[in-house]
Amino acid sequence: MATQRKRPAHKLGHRGDIQIKRIYDDPDAADGFRALVDRLWPRGISKQRAALDDWLVDLAPSTALRRRWLRTDRW
């Protein structure tokens, strides 16, 4: 069972306030709670540079789905 971490109250924000931002974009003070939703850590990004509050691996697409997406002709 995964352990729950307490989130700082100032980073929780309001429900429904979700923004999508690329991990390669610089963090901003206005970002609020920052979470990475991916099974793979992005290349060339240190944990310090990412400035994440959480890495939500379990919410990311499954490995099988990722592999299927990569094999699909998307264009």
Answer whether 0.85 is exceeded by the pTM: no
Measuring CA to CA, which residue among 13, 64, 66, 68 is closest to residue 35? 13
If you write DSSP's letter for every residue of 7-62 in order, what string do you get?
PPHHHH--TT------TTSPP-GGG-S-EE--SSPPTT--HHHHT-SEE-GGGSPP
75 residues of the chain, pLDDT tens digit each: 455 566 555 555 556 678 899 999 999 988 888 999 999 999 999 999 999 999 999 999 898 888 888 776 655
Residues in the chain, overall count = 75
